[in-house]
Structure 1
């Protein structure tokens, strides 16, 4: 017997948690196939996900925009090859508006728990303010890059200045003439360091690990290029296909580090030698690990910025913070009045600390105690009618996550259609299927660059839990068709 709707509870067919690219992709896919009874719950005051929060100077995508966009919503007036944050956010807002997503989004709603009821075959989704939603299916689209990570370093509260994370940039804090410490030297730092180095009095970049770089001169398109993209038939499709295959080649270099990877590593090394004229900075900024093991960065401005007179690259580990700044293990105190954390995200935490309980009250966090895992990155045994967007092992080292999200949205939609066609109340992946697919997936990592060093792709056990071990084309073949034989219908 269906459970009565409680006061303050809303009933809907599907609840989507998160209104970034993943949540928008899922909502559009469902609506295009007649499933319009959907609520999208978003913690932020508006949609956008990572592109809403990451507003640091120079923020941009490192994947060309004609691939980092929905296949069914191709924009032909991008201003650059790799679009800046504001342009990407504007694109996502426009797509959401044009496809009727905005009216389904409930903003400023942080979900605290999702619980499955075996008796009623429904999910109850509860927000921190006590509001609840009851749904037949749950799509978790919180992504991998949504929780800023700040390492625990002794004495942080002792610093006399101001501090913030790059993913929560404090635009009210004027950096002009300040002594700034940047903790971290990854993808975000590579974009904002060249920008702020022009205005600060002194910039100290604290680097734990050097990076491999490839060039990216992201100039504005000249008028004739923009006109050609808008008016020449087939040009946009050709460019999209070209970038797709170029990205697959980058993945090939990671899968085959001793052959294809060596070629790209030589190209990267030649580029970096040209950029690093200062021998001491070159020594510090040169990576000592296999090309592709960590995220390869695209920038033609970061390495030159490290050689500015007002910039210092520090590789000695930080011992602690002191009132005057940062003390490194060699005893030196680096005077700073502003600390910017460029330390990335808690990539292996996924949707936690949000609580998710499945059949029989099992907790997802306990199921994942030895590392996150899901069939095709989307479905977990014991959690009926739940689908993950950008879940375990669906990150890409060389391609566009938007491509993966489209595939996942279509797969979840097919699963719900199969459930409805059978008159079933739930659909859940078989435990043996998920275990076998996870084992096969992990077996593909040995011999690749992904296992050649430690990185944010791996959890505390050493398992690669974020990245897909193959190509975009392989993921497409694996997810194009939902296979009912791999699932149980109640």
Structure 2
């Protein structure tokens, strides 16, 4: 291979998407390095270690298509299990030696003269690459609530993604602020050990009931002996019917599919909560799926325990020994968990990214983060995003989404590696057309039906793929090359 075709790729992030990119590049015998800011791989499954952490996608569906796993302990896997899975995959595919741990990339600057990227890490070292794969993830910048007196609390107070591993939980008075997936899972896990648990819910969530059960050792052995049994779960018709039903519902809020989702969530609430007052506390005032649906199988049981109090009032301030409510109620606490989510609009930030002609990513992402078909950026040549802005969101496997995106990206990479192009980036006209159509469609989805959500950008527009799941799969099968500015062809 001549020097012109010998291209080096930097992968930013060693979570699920970064490992996927590395495995595919290694398989294609392409030179790459992975930069990881932390001391281990796993992304969100490394950062989040809270009790009760569970993926809401069936375990056998939350795996790479090329790396089935027979060792899952239950239908829905725990966070530690998932982290072990990714560590095993990285080891099995020989990726770990390519990862530079404790090496945060602080700057990515495109060099016009040489048509490559200069990356600077937190140690002050510079690295030159031809291609950059951004696999930094979405939910990794914790959002801390602006509550008066939060620093005055004398007990343990921390964000759910910064769990204090040695914390003694037994017989403690525990407060949990937030009722997204993390808050619901933590509350569910701690009701059995806490003396008193207060779940602060500014806005209760709709819950979709799902099943959960353990696999026996005999069943695991069957999975080891017969991969078809794993595929039967991964490609289960009911699982995919649910995905397509959900997708049809969110893009058409008036559809029968959306009505079915709302009926299931409402009926689950009505049938599960016996106390009418508690039931009304837990009833959201917005439509199901406007916020990300909670998939859970036991929260409604746990929240009815005598040691649990659901607090839907407004917090006045946090004090040394607990939380003061505006109505005068005071909750004495030993531990305060902030399950308050993440800044979902930052992605690779705070890394300084400067593209062609000095264009900064901050400028390009004003007023909202976006990318052409959720993958590429005009003005940022040879930079590709996995699970970036405007991609599909929902209760399905993001591994599947990333694999489909890789199929799209790899076809653009082939143009570069073949020597037929030096740089590839979407034309601004094509991107603007995509974004105009996307915004128009996004405003008609369930996400715009009237609620506050991390799906929304600063202007209230959903940062999502607003068309069908199949439309996304079709779009990722092949990039439309006429939409791309392909320069430096040999």
- Do the two structures share a fold, i.e. TM-score over 0.5? yes
Answer yes or no: is the 8 Å Cα contact 2:443–2:461 preserved in 1: no
How many angstroms does 1:416 deviate by? Answer: 1.6
- Quick one: which of 277, 281, 284 aligns to 1:280? 277
- Quick one: which of 27, 49, 60 aligns to 1:66? 60
Q: Which residue of 2 aligns with 1:170?
A: 164
Instruction: Give me the CA root mean square deviation.
Output: 1.7
Q: Which residue of 1 aligns with 2:3?
A: none
Q: Which residue of 2 aligns with 1:399?
A: 396
How many angstroms does 1:12 deviate by? Answer: 7.1
* Secondary structure of 1:123 counterpart: strand
Q: Which residue of 1 aligns with 2:456?
A: 458
Answer yes or no: is the 8 Å Cα contact 1:13–1:135 preserved in 2: yes
- Quick one: which of 37, 41, 46 aligns to 1:47? 41
Q: Which residue of 1 aligns with 2:245?
A: 249
d(CA) in 2 for partners of 1:380 and 1:263? 37
- Give the 5 Å matches for 1:85-484: 85-223=79-217, 225-232=219-226, 234-242=228-236, 243-258=239-254, 259-453=256-450, 454-465=452-463, 467-484=464-481
d(CA) in 2 for partners of 1:281 and 1:255? 32
Q: Which residue of 2 aligns with 1:13?
A: 8
* Runs of 5+ consecutive residues of structure 1 not aligned to the other structure: 1-10
* Secondary structure of 2:137 counterpart: coil
d(CA) in 2 for partners of 1:424 and 1:187? 44
How many angstroms does 1:422 deviate by? Answer: 4.3
Answer yes or no: is the 8 Å Cα contact 2:442–2:465 preserved in 1: no
How many angstroms does 1:71 deviate by? Answer: 0.7
d(CA) in 2 for partners of 1:482 and 1:28? 21
d(CA) in 2 for partners of 1:233 and 1:351? 37
Q: Which residue of 2 aligns with 1:28?
A: 23
Q: Which residue of 2 aligns with 1:6?
A: none
Distance 1:323 1:77, change over 3 A: closer
d(CA) in 1 for partners of 2:229 and 2:333? 50
User: What is the TM-score when the length of structure 1 is the normalising length?
Assistant: 0.94
* Secondary structure of 2:370 counterpart: coil
How many angstroms does 1:25 deviate by? Answer: 0.8
Answer yes or no: is the 8 Å Cα contact 1:29–1:410 preserved in 2: no
* Secondary structure of 1:339 counterpart: strand
* Runs of 5+ consecutive residues of structure 2 not aligned to the other structure: 1-5
d(CA) in 2 for partners of 1:372 and 1:55? 28
Number of corresponding residues: 478
Distance 1:232 1:122, change over 3 A: closer
CA displacement, residues 127-152 of structure 1 (integer Å, 9 cap, x when unaligned): 11212211001111111111111111
Q: Which runs of 4+ in 1 moved over 6 A?
A: none
Q: Which residue of 2 aligns with 1:7?
A: none
d(CA) in 1 for partners of 2:222 and 2:104? 44
d(CA) in 1 for partners of 2:434 and 2:448? 19
Answer yes or no: is the 8 Å Cα contact 1:251–1:398 preserved in 2: no
CA displacement, residues 130-187 of structure 1 (integer Å, 9 cap, x when unaligned): 1221100111111111111111111111112111111111111212222111110110
How many angstroms does 1:332 deviate by? Answer: 2.3
How many angstroms does 1:24 deviate by? Answer: 0.5
How many angstroms does 1:229 deviate by? Answer: 3.7
